[in-house]
Structure 1
Amino acid sequence: MASMVLMSAGCAAFPGGGAQANRTPRQSSPTATPSEAAQVGALESLGFADGDQLDPLAKVGWQFAFLAADDAAWTSNPADDPYDETSFVNADDTCTAYSFQEIFETATVDDRSASDEYLAEVSGATADEVATYAFDGYFALTHVLTPEPADGEVASRNILAETDEETWLGAARVFTNMDYTTSQMNNAYSLQLACDAGIDPTTQLDSLDEIAKIVVDQ
């Protein structure tokens, strides 16, 4: 197995969620952050500081919108196991994205810190590596039960890694205010991208905004 290289501006590796070893840091280009327009309103934006405003019984989950057009940016992976993660490939067949949702138990009450803990678990990075290399990102936000669709963002913690053959990106968010026992909703969400060498996973993540969104209804 080739060794993974952590990249500063974010970095860890998870090919479908597996941990990797022998990482060494390197510089990476800056990544996008949520826009100013997405900072207003608890349901139009969920930054880390907004997590305590989330209804503990909120309905939260992934929403996927795949297009059948030949020029669709992403398409569902036909190898998907309906009882496993959802995966999809980009039009150039250079990146595969995996989505996960699960219950993540943590004593941490801060969404940012809990998201770092979850990012370490799904990426295989150490807590020190996450503290050094993780960076802020976002998922697209939407609603299903309300009349007006959202056009905001859900803050995430991201990390990057690479080998000679591949580049990886992971993005994670934990909602610590959710009462997942009562609501039976998952409180932890992640996207993991595996791309060919030379492909920037951060730009590929941006292109997923219209395909994979986090639904938050309360």
Structure 2
Amino acid sequence: MHGSDVSNFLSVEALVDINDRSLQATFSSKDITGASPAEVLPALNFMAGLTSPNKLQVAARYVPFHDLDALPDSSPEIPPVILRYIHSLAVMQEYTATPIVIPDLARTTMGQVRDAIRTASLLQGQTVVYAWKPFRIMPPADGIEVVPDGQYQLAFPEPIYLTVDEGRISLGVADVIILSAKLARQADGGILVHPHSKGCPAKILKSPRAWWPRCGPLA
């Protein structure tokens, strides 16, 4: 017996022993580069679960499931971080009309993976807290009074993007809060913003307050 899932990403070949009615199943998968995240995600979730202590069950269309032999104690076929990344891509597709496809994972950096997971969390209404690095800003026309060694709290909008391969997809604007910062004026009039102390590097991103409407099939 052989078959595939609806996405044609996952295939199975099963051999049945006619003597003891035992069944041996072999699963294989195709390259997911260029595929729609939402279409292959169910198959990836299944592949990720093909490890002990889970059990594989089979059934005909209208009869109860039956357990097969225990699954081997091995690492998941799909690493958890890759599964989270592709799930995040599927979440973001609901907020943009620009098609999102799975990039070449061999060329995808861990920084891009972390950014995608963080952005998906924001779109789902979560607040994200993480460490930040110093950055420069240009003051407004009326200027900013900078007090040496003063402690500042900053709040400002920040565009959020999905970076895939060489392109970026805009996904709205997040509200950013920096809890404790020190400002230093630069020679060119710019201002360097850096953590006030080593123990206060928190940068808070709140849910986007403007983005493309959620996208779905037309009625």
> TM above 0.5, one fold?
no
Task: State the structure with bigger RCO (CA 8 A, min sep 6), 1 or 2.
Answer: 1
The TM-score normalised by the length of structure 1 is 0.21
